[in-house]
Amino acid sequence: MSELTNQELVELVHKLSARLDQAEAEIAELRKRSDASIPEDVIIAISAAVSAFMGNKGKVKAVHYLRHRTWAAQGRQSVQQRMLEN
């Protein structure tokens, strides 16, 4: 393995810092999107489209928002809720 000079090491640290800053900015943007609420008219439009596609003439009785930080937490809650229903 070749020996790196101090200048090369400093350049590598700067590059890694820039990449880390970019990754942190992307994560912050994704968190903002996941925490944003969905407008009621969008839910109604999606529900109507799914209902029409499925050929269902039923009504949407309720919409429940499951706001968790992670998909894993949503999955755990879903499994636990099914266990309580049975």
Give Cα 43 to chain centroid, integer Å: 17
Q: Do 14 and 48 have their domain in common? A: no
Task: State the DSSP string of 21-61.
Answer: HHHHHHHHHHHHHHHSPPPHHHHHHHHHHHHHHHT------
Question: What pLDDT digit, counting tens, does each position of 21-66 carry?
Answer: 999 999 988 888 776 677 778 888 888 888 888 887 666 677 666 6
Domain interval for residue 80: 38-86
Confidence of residue 19 (pLDDT cuts 50, 70, 90): very high
The conformation of residue 4, written as its DSSP 8-state character, comes to: P
Are 69 and 48 in the same domain?
yes
**Are 68 and 74 within 8 A, CB to CB?**
yes
Domain count, the chain: 2
Q: Are 30 and 46 part of one and the same domain?
A: no
Is the entire prediction scored with pTM above 0.85?
A: no
Taking phi over 0 as left and psi of -120 to 50 as alpha, with beta for the rest, 20 belongs to alpha
